[in-house]
Amino acid sequence: MASTLEKITDRKEKIDPVVEKAMEKFLGATVKQVNEDISNRLIEGFIDFDIDLSVKFKKAKEQFKHAYLIKLLQFTNGNISEAARIAGVDRRSIHRLISRFKIDITKLRKEPYYFREEKKEMYVKEVVEETLGRYDITKEYADKVDEETAKNISKKIPDVRLTFDEAIDMFEREYIKAALEKFKNIKVAAKEIGIRYETLHKKAKELGLR
């Protein structure tokens, strides 16, 4: 069975040329770093998170699970079956998470409904705008992103949303990577983020960080 990293790499290989072609048409030139950032954001699939090492690993992981579930339920307008399908889990697991995090599913179901493809296009447009706005060379184009550009990317990319397990793996990898980069030493990093040395060493190896 392919690892999460292998699956993400495979998705990236499918997304990169689509993004490059659409952005070259829109900008009139190829800006490699911009294209790379857009692809990476799209691969995150509606999951945008910051790593805060002041929050211990286990607590940060719980916060991430909560945020993932909220994003997922917002995307499906509270449809449990659809949320379970995307997350790659059964309906009971979604119900347990909703109960655990005390999420008001009724409130989410009352929010405006959009067709799934329309939401996908909206997300792509938002990602492109935000990414262009980060770079001086493309900043002037940030508020000029048209629906055609978003649609050209959206309709040609695969379903890039991450399952629950894939999302957790991605979070763990980014958190542990940040901890190792900051503290330089596994023993020190383990102490700072609140987990055992053996646990961190094993996770780092499993996630391809050692």
For residue range 7-37, list pLDDT tens digits in order: 777 777 888 898 999 999 999 988 899 998 8
Render 44-63 in DSSP notation, one character per residue.
H-S------TTS-HHHHHHH
Q: What is the pTM of this model?
A: 0.73
Helix, strand and coil percent figures for the chain, each rounded to 5: 70, 0, 30
Give the rounded percent of residues in the chain with a pLDDT score beyond 90: 45
Show me where the domains of the chain are located.
Answer: 4-206
Q: Which residue has the tokens 């790593």?
A: 51
| Six token digits for residue 37 | 């950032």
Which range is least confidently modeled, 36-50, 117-131, 180-194? 36-50
For the four alpha carbons of 13, 14, 15 and 16, in that order, the dihedral sign comes to: positive
The SS3 of residue 112 is coil
Is the pLDDT assigned to residue 184 strictly greater than 80? yes
Residue 47 tokens, joined? 């999951």
In the block, residue with structure tokens 């699939």 = 45
| Residue 100 φ/ψ region, left for φ over 0, alpha for ψ in the -120 to 50 degree band, beta for the rest | alpha
* pLDDT score at 1: 40
Question: How far is residue 86 from each of residues 45, 68, 159, 200, measured CA to CA in Å?
Answer: 11, 12, 9, 29
pLDDT tens for 26-74 read 999 888 999 988 888 787 665 667 889 999 999 999 999 999 999 889 8
Residue 72 near residue 61 (C-beta atoms within 8 A):
no
